[in-house]
């Protein structure tokens, strides 16, 4: 199985107040996640993927409503954002086969979903550009976290069981695929979300950004051959 072709270590240098707010908010949440989960990567992934699956659906909903109001084309944004939300939910469904959240973590998930959904919705209404930049920075951190997870698996500190069936089916992985293979394709997904959302934020801010191709075509580059 070939390794997904993914650019690691990509960072959007903040330009202006909107970007700095987005980066500061992301670093604050990163600190909270590092403090709470430390190296419990399976649990970390479950809780954070319940959060990661929210922005795509919020962005798709509000973009859909804006396009209806203005009677204008969405340029493929709505489908792209909905596919991001579904993709993040598949990350969650995969990790729930690997680790089980504790009762306390389930309570955290309930509380955080209310706060994050409402907060992100309001942020997107106030500044879609900042909201997409926040997601871009979140995804930069997700790539780093999954890189740490891979290092832990390679060092034997985290288990590397066979890939869950749901993951083999979704990413079309071979029958002998392991969790390591799954983390590799998930990291590639996060890198793709990073590039898409930074691209959207830059476009909304009138900044130059490299073109981000629609999801299915781009994903083909990032995913391994089955
Ligand atoms: Fe994810
Ligand atoms: Fe993501």
- At 2, is the pLDDT very low, low, confident or very high (cuts 50, 70, 90)? low
Q: Which ligand is nearest to the CA of 56?
A: 2
Distance, CA 85 to ligand 2 centroid (Å)?
8
Q: What percent of the chain has pLDDT over 90?
A: 76
Residue 118 placed within a domain: yes
Distance, CA 92 to ligand 1 centroid (Å)?
7
Domain that holds residue 153: 17-222
Distance, CA 88 to ligand 2 centroid (Å)?
6
| Pairwise pLDDT comparison (147 vs 219), residue with the higher score | 147
Residue pLDDT, tens place only, 30-43 = 998 888 888 888 88
Nearest by Cα to 55 from 83, 36, 28, 74: 83
In the chain, which ranges are E strands? none
Cα torsion through 111, 121, 133, 191, rounded to 10 = 60
* pLDDT at res. 3: 62
Distance, CA 69 to ligand 1 centroid (Å)?
31
Work out the mean pLDDT of the chain and round it to a whole number: 89
Distance, CA 156 to ligand 1 centroid (Å)?
23
Residue 104 placed within a domain: yes
Among 6-15, 77-86, 115-124, which is the least confidently predicted range? Answer: 6-15
Residue 92 placed within a domain: yes
- At 162, is the pLDDT very low, low, confident or very high (cuts 50, 70, 90)? very high
Distance, CA 154 to ligand 2 centroid (Å)?
22
* pLDDT at res. 139: 96
Among 117-121, 161-165, 206-210, which is the least confidently predicted range? Answer: 206-210
Q: Which ligand is nearest to the CA of 48?
A: 1
Distance, CA 68 to ligand 1 centroid (Å)?
29
Distance, CA 121 to ligand 1 centroid (Å)?
19
**Domain CATH number, residue 31:** 1.20.1260.140
Distance, CA 196 to ligand 2 centroid (Å)?
10
The stretch 115-140 carries a mean pLDDT of: 97
- At 57, is the pLDDT very low, low, confident or very high (cuts 50, 70, 90)? very high
Record the tokens describing residue 120, joined without a space: 């992100």
Q: How many structural domains compose the chain?
A: 1
Residue 40 placed within a domain: yes
Distance, CA 16 to ligand 2 centroid (Å)?
24
Residue pLDDT, tens place only, 78-100 = 999 999 999 999 999 999 998 99
Q: Which ligand is nearest to the CA of 88?
A: 1
* pLDDT at res. 36: 86
Q: Which ligand is nearest to the CA of 92?
A: 1
Residue 12 placed within a domain: no
Residue 102 placed within a domain: yes
- At 1, is the pLDDT very low, low, confident or very high (cuts 50, 70, 90)? low
pTM: 0.88
Residue 173 placed within a domain: yes
Q: Which ligand is nearest to the CA of 84?
A: 2
Q: Does 206 score more than 70 pLDDT?
A: yes
Q: Which ligand is nearest to the CA of 190?
A: 2
Residue 10 placed within a domain: no
CB under 8 A, 24+ apart: contacts of 150-159: 150/180, 150/183, 150/184, 150/187, 152/39, 152/41, 153/179, 153/180, 153/183, 154/180, 157/39, 158/41, 158/42
* pLDDT at res. 196: 95
The stretch 189-200 carries a mean pLDDT of: 95
């Amino acid at each position: 199985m070939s390794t997904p072709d993914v650019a690691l270590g990509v960072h959007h240098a903040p330009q202006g107040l909107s970007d700095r707010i987005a980066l500061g908010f992301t670093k604050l949440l990163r600190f909270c996640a590092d403090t709470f989960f430390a190296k419990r990567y399976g649990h970390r992934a479950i809780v954070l993927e319940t959060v990661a699956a929210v922005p795509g659906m919020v962005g798709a909903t509000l973009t859909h409503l804006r396009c209806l109001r203005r009677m204008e084309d969405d340029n493929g944004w709505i489908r792209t954002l909905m596919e991001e939300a579904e993709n993040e939910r598949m990350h969650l469904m995969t990790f729930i086969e690997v680790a089980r959240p504790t009762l306390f973590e389930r309570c955290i998930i309930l509380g955080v979903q209310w706060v994050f959904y409402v907060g992100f919705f309001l942020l997107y209404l106030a500044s879609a550009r900042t909201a997409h930049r926040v997601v871009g920075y979140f995804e930069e951190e997700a790539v780093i976290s999954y890189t740490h997870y891979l290092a832990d698996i390679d060092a034997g500190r985290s288990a590397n069981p066979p890939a869950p069936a749901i993951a083999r089916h979704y990413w079309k992985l071979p029958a002998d695929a392991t969790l390591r293979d799954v983390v590799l394709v998930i990291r590639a997904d996060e890198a793709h979300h990073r590039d898409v959302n930074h691209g959207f934020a830059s476009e909304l801010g009138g900044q130059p950004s490299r073109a981000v191709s629609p999801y299915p075509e781009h994903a083909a580059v990032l995913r391994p051959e089955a």
